Structure 1
Amino acid sequence: MLYWSLVFFLISLVAGILGLNNVAGLSMDIAKFLIALFLVLAIVSFAIGIWTYKKAKNLLNK
């Protein structure tokens, strides 16, 4: 997902240099969305990992 964010960011930079403002704006919006999605999924995954670790630790201590 971060790979595609970087790809869209680079497309945005090239389009901006060439004067294609609509393409640059759209590519930047897609890149921002993908980065935000990555961050949300990373935080959720981290929280679930902590929760399952605590649950498994409690089961082993019984």
Structure 2
Amino acid sequence: MYRAILPNGQLECAAYEKRDHGIDCYDADEEFLAFVPYESLEALLAEGAYERRAPSVM
């Protein structure tokens, strides 16, 4: 699972594909969820980032 961190919230996706101007997010059934432009994407985190106690620098 991944979390796309946006200025106004976050989007959970099971998979993503990099595009020229952003990422395509997909659910576990490989259904398209959303296109997120790089300008709106603050971070893309793997689920493991939330399992650590201390934050790490990426």
TM tier, smaller: under 0.3
> TM-score scaled by structure 1?
0.24
Whose helix fraction is larger, Structure 1's or Structure 2's?
Answer: 1
Which structure is larger by alpha-carbon Rg, 1 or 2? 1
> TM-score scaled by structure 2?
0.24
